Homo-oligomer: A and B are copies of this chain.
Amino acid sequence: MTVTIYDVAREANVSMATVSRVVNGNQNVKPSTRKKVLEVIERLEYRPNAVARGLASKKTTTVGVIIPDISNSIYSEAARGIEDIATMYNYNIILANSDQNEEKEITLLDTMLGKQVDGIVMMSDSVTDKLHHIMKHAPVPIVLAGSVDESNDLPSVNIDYFQASYEAIQLLINNGHKRIAFLSGPLAYTINSKYKLEAYKKALQDANIEIDEQLIISEESSYDSGIEAWETLSAIENPPTAFFAGSDELAIGIIHGAQDDGKNVPEDIEVISFENSKLARMVRPRLTSVAFPLYDIGAVAMRLLTKIMSKEKVEDKVVILPHRIESRQSIKL
Residues of A within 8 A of B (CB): 2, 47-52, 54-55, 60, 62, 65, 69-73, 76-77, 79-80, 83-84, 87, 92-97, 110-116, 139, 223, 249, 252, 256, 259-260, 278-279, 281-284, 295
Contacts and interface: CB of A to CB of B under 8 A. Distances in A.
B60 A80 contact: no
Q: Output the residue of A51, A96, A97, A278 with the most chain B CB within 10 A.
A: A51
A48 B114 contact: yes
Given A2-B139, A96-B92, A70 B76 contact: yes
A293 to B, nearest CB: 13
A47 B114 contact: yes
Contact of A284 (B87, B92, B223, B259): B259
A2 to B, nearest CB: 7
A116 B50 CA distance: 7
Contacts of A70: 70, 76, 79-80, 83
B97 A95 contact: no
Nearest to A104: B87
A49 B114 contact: yes
A187 B134 CA distance: 50
B92 A93 contact: no
Contacts of A60: 51
A135 to B, nearest CB: 15
Number of copies: 2
B95 A83 contact: yes
Contacts of A52: 55
A295 B71 contact: yes
Contacts of A87: 96-97
A310 B84 CA distance: 32
Given A50-B116, A223-B282, A282-B283, 20 more contacts: A47-B113, A49-B114, A51-B55, A51-B60, A51-B115, A52-B55, A62-B94, A62-B115, A70-B76, A72-B76, A76-B76, A80-B97, A83-B96, A93-B94, A94-B95, A95-B95, A249-B282, A256-B282, A259-B284, A283-B283
A76 B83 contact: no
19 contacts: A47-B110, A49-B55, A51-B51, A51-B116, A71-B77, A71-B79, A71-B80, A76-B76, A76-B79, A79-B95, A92-B94, A92-B96, A93-B95, A94-B94, A94-B95, A249-B282, A279-B279, A282-B282, A283-B283
B49 A116 contact: yes
B83 A97 contact: yes
Nearest to A107: B87
A89 B147 CA distance: 29
The 3 closest A-B pairs by CB, nearest first: A71-B80, A95-B95, A76-B76
Nearest to A86: B96
B139 A115 contact: no
